[in-house]
A and B are shown apart, each in its own frame.
Chain A
Amino acid sequence: MKHFSISFIVGGGLTTLFIIAAILSFFWTPYDVELLNIKGKFATPGFEHLMGTDHFGRDILSMVMVGTRNAIAVSLIAVGIGAAIGVPLGLWAAATCMNGSRIIDELLMRGNDLIFAFPSLLLAIMITAVFGPSIINAIIAIGIFNIPVFARVSRGAALSIWPKEYISAARVAGKGSTRISYEHILPNILNLLIVQATIQFSIAIIAEASLSYVGLGSQPPDPSLGRMLNEAQTMIFFAPWLAYFPGGAIVALVLGFNLMGDGMRDILDPKLRQRSETGKASNDAS
């Protein structure tokens, strides 16, 4: 039996809870999120409305459920885009590097540096300045920012696998660089990529919330945790619960994913377990 750490259990529990709530929101929410009920506005949290209601009388719990679902969807797609483009680029860079040609590698890495020079929020601002604010543009902006992260991680990991004997064996057997990359390198660095994906996912959740908060993410009437916080801001003096619950949901979701990522790193990569005691720096840097 594998040993599960406390952080994995707590993080996994929180994450499961949110995923269940998100899936549930497809079929059922306590109230309709688009139902306005002006008579019942600013209801304090209680039996009727567990998290209270907002200035239109909408149920906060229902909105948090749908908002969480949207945040998870945006982050999954954005991280997916980053991985789908970044990983092949990283593998390609490593493969050409191993074949003795450094030009492609050098170009790709400089391109990475270039994207890193644009803070993700700034990139999103430029994209929305040009194409207008929408949830799709927010996904693209967060996705672009994820490409260099995955490219860098997979390149580094692939470079450490290439000198192994079984790679030489595969070469002798007549496999080309592309086939080796996908059949032998990728499965061996998958653990690392999964752990990186959980880290990127929690960064994406915060990025989505930030973009929605400044009005560059999902547009009304689609519930979004970030925009709920923006709307709450003018009313916090008499209805602070409007700010507590959506923000708390973001924190719990991100915390859950971070803890689960830490736990998963220990389980998936026992070699790192010893190192993670002393050497978390490399992961925190991203």
Chain B
Amino acid sequence: MSSFLLKKIISLIITLFVATGVIFILIEVVPGDPVAFMMGLSGSTEAADALRIELGLNVGPWARYVDWVWGMVNGNFGISYTYRVPVIELIRERALVSVPLTVYALFLSTAIAIPAGLISASRRGSLVDTSFMGVAQLGVAIPNFWFAILLVLFFSTTLKLFSASGFPGWDAGFLICLKALTLPAISLALPQAAILSRVMRSSALEVMNEDYIRTARAKGLNKNQALLRHGLRNAMIPVLTILGLQFSFLLAGGIIIESVFSLPGLGRLVFQSIVQRDLIVVKSIVTLLVFSVVFITFIVDLLYAAVDPRLREGN
């Protein structure tokens, strides 16, 4: 087990290093000079040089890369070019919207998909199964931002149940904020729930053919009892992998959904920063999102090994 863990940790660290390298190279070859952009046309050369020193842009790329990575290790992401505040503070503020949205959507997606997949599997071929899978087929094909627009049309314009956009801020109270995040979370969750329920269904069907389910049935459990008590844990293994993958889809998808609903999250910040050429913010957010994806994959690998002892043996 420990050699397995060691191998995984080493590969995690290498991935993170290469990823930061790729991000750094891509953002540093940018044609636009942030200093020239900030100074505008009227800036003098001396002022520009002073700003370059202030922002640490006066040294070579290697030194900047090392500084950047070392800074991040210490929780210092640098200063935003346009907002002139530490990037970490900007991110913290926006993450308070994005992270709850992602978690909310992940919760909804799981809460819908796992029961739906299990019911479909246990009544395979029935009308329920056919209609669930039909809806899932449709759900995979619907772009989440279009679904979001339809939700706004129906729930905000016609029924007037939810506001069409905006976020009141957590000071306004937990429930009010939860309500503001509900439509965005539903539109994020739908396509993921569609995929997840299909995986859950096929995984449960596969498990139901196993010998131990037949044994359980022979001992007198009915089909559903056997599936829930003996099959579910085994059937969850592929579902777990997909859940890990979905986290990254939800984070990225959140970027778009945030702009549909004008939520002040990380996605909006990224787009604003691109327009303003505030590349240090873009760099930091992309890095953080990539880190979280890599880290979640790492955790899923470990969970996998915890669930299935065969994986610890090295293969």
Taking the closest CB of chain A, its distance from the CB of B221, in whole angstroms, is 21
* A240 contacts partner chain B, Cβ-Cβ < 8 Å: yes
Chain A residues whose CB sits within 8 angstroms of the CB of B213 once the complex forms? none
Identify A122's interface contact among B152, B290, B294, CB under 8 A.
Answer: B290
Q: State the A residues within 8 Å of B (CB).
A: 110, 113-114, 117-122, 125-131, 202, 206, 209-210, 213-214, 226, 229, 232-233, 236-237, 240, 243, 247, 250-252, 254-255, 258-259, 277-281, 284-285
Q: Looking at chain A's contact residues, is the secondary structure mostly helix, strand, loop, or mixed?
A: helix
Q: Which of B141, B198, B242, B253 has the most CB atoms of chain A within a 10 A radius of its CB? A: B141
What is the size, in residues, of chain B's interface with A at 8 Å between Cβ atoms?
58
Q: Which of A113, A118, A213 has the most CB atoms of chain B within a 10 A radius of its CB? A: A118
Identify A130's interface contact among B27, B137, B153, B195, CB under 8 A.
Answer: B27
Q: Is the CB of B198 within 8 A of A117?
A: no
Identify A284's interface contact among B23, B199, B251, CB under 8 A.
Answer: B199
* B22 contacts partner chain A, Cβ-Cβ < 8 Å: yes
A-B contact count (CB 8 A): 141
Selected interface stretch from B59-67, B75-83, B201-209: B201-209
Q: Is the CB of B153 within 8 A of A121?
A: no
Q: State the B residues within 8 Å of A (CB).
A: 11, 14-15, 18-19, 22-23, 26-27, 29-31, 137-138, 140-143, 145-146, 149-150, 152-153, 157, 195, 198-199, 202-203, 205-206, 209, 238, 241-242, 245, 248-249, 251-253, 255-256, 259-260, 270-271, 273-274, 279, 282, 286, 289-290, 293-294, 297
Q: Is the CB of B143 within 8 A of A250?
A: yes
Q: Which of A113, A126, A251, A281 has the most CB atoms of chain B within a 10 A radius of its CB? A: A281
Taking the closest CB of chain B, its distance from the CB of A41, in whole angstroms, is 20
CA distance A278 to B120 in the complex (A): 12
Q: Is the CB of B259 within 8 A of A128?
A: no
Taking the closest CB of chain B, its distance from the CB of A110, in whole angstroms, is 7
Q: Is the CB of A117 within 8 A of B274?
A: no
Q: Which of A130, A226, A237 has the most CB atoms of chain B within a 10 A radius of its CB? A: A130
Q: Is the CB of A255 within 8 A of B138?
A: yes
Chain B residues whose CB sits within 8 angstroms of the CB of A119 once the complex forms? 248-249, 251-252, 289, 293
Known A-B contacts: A119-B252, A213-B143, A251-B143. Give 20 more (CB < 8 A).
A114-B18, A118-B290, A119-B249, A119-B293, A122-B290, A125-B270, A125-B282, A129-B30, A130-B26, A213-B256, A243-B146, A243-B150, A243-B153, A247-B150, A277-B205, A278-B206, A279-B202, A279-B206, A281-B198, A285-B242
